[in-house]
Amino acid sequence: MKPEKMSEAEYKKNYFKSGRMDSLYASYPDPWRLAVDGHDRYLKILTTIDSYFRERNPERIVDLGCGEGVLSRMLARRYQAQVYGIDISQTAVDRAFEDKQENTFFSVCDMGKGIVPLTQKMDVIILGDILYYLNDKIEVAHAISEVDRLLDVDGIIIMTEFPKTRKYVKLLSERFDLIHESREVVRYKKTPIDLKENSQLTYRLTVFRRKEQSDGSSDELCEAGSPSRHS
């Protein structure tokens, strides 16, 4: 969500670099009110994970664009998994550490340029509105390569993006299979970086997995609203 009087390019330049983000988080704790208004959206992510992991809980999850760790903590409590939160803002990560759980781990990384400080393969990768904020195709390609490196052979990627982000679905689909897509509505009250008093936005939730192997094996794609576990 960007202020109405600010262009998209200005919005990215002014807010989504590490120093600017640190300043934003320092001035406005929970600047997107995710701890207050993000519950329904996060619950949808949790129920999506449940649909794909019916026989076991995911063991390792990475939350890319974790902010202050609200979703990361929800994931850790629900699945007792090792949850790794990654964000560009040191201030946000420091705040996440203030409420750290035994099975949550937080690190700073610029997804457009840096190497995510993880070597383990992930059962679930959460992409929380981060591709949109990267500067160019090179940075987006780098981020997707990092996702590819981290994803386990039968893992899933869950991406949530707001409108005008269909191109990122297409880019991910070049490397992964799109197996679920739905549109959800979320309501936000006024935030420090949103001039509207109340906002109702539609966002896209998509799920990807690795492309089927060349041995000819295949799995049926999930119909919207009824995903199934790939094993």
User: Phi/psi of residue 204, each to 5°?
Assistant: -105, 130
Q: What is the pLDDT of residues 20-78, one digit of tens each?
A: 666 666 666 665 556 555 567 788 899 999 999 999 999 999 999 998 999 999 999 99
Q: What percent of the chain has a predicted confidence (pLDDT) above 90? A: 45
CA 98 to chain centre: 21
Residue 151, helix vs strand vs coil: strand
Partner residues linked to 206 by β-bridges: 159, 181
- Ordered by start, the domain boundaries in the chain are 8-210
Give the per-residue pLDDT at 71: 94
Nearest to 131 by CA among 208, 52, 221: 208
Position with higher pLDDT, 222 vs 167: 167
- Token representation of residue 202: 């539609």
Handedness of CA 17, 19, 22, 28 (dihedral sign): negative
- Token representation of residue 2: 């960007």
The answer on pLDDT for 102 being more than 60 is: yes
Ramachandran region, residue 225 (left: φ > 0; alpha: ψ -120 to 50; beta: rest): left
pTM (2 d.p.):
0.78
DSSP-assigned states of every residue in 184-206: EEEEEEEETTEEEEEEEEEEEEE
Q: Report the side by side order of strands in the sheet with 176-191.
A: 104-108, 82-87, 60-64, 122-128, 151-161, 194-210, 176-191
Position with higher pLDDT, 13 vs 163: 163
Q: How far apart are CA 123 and CA 113, in angstroms?
A: 23
Q: Mean per-residue pLDDT for 66-92?
A: 93
Q: What is the pLDDT of residues 183-230, one digit of tens each?
A: 876 665 545 455 455 566 677 899 999 998 655 444 433 333 334 344
CATH 3.40.50.150 is right for the domain spanning 8-210: yes
The counts of H helices and E strands in the chain are 8, 7
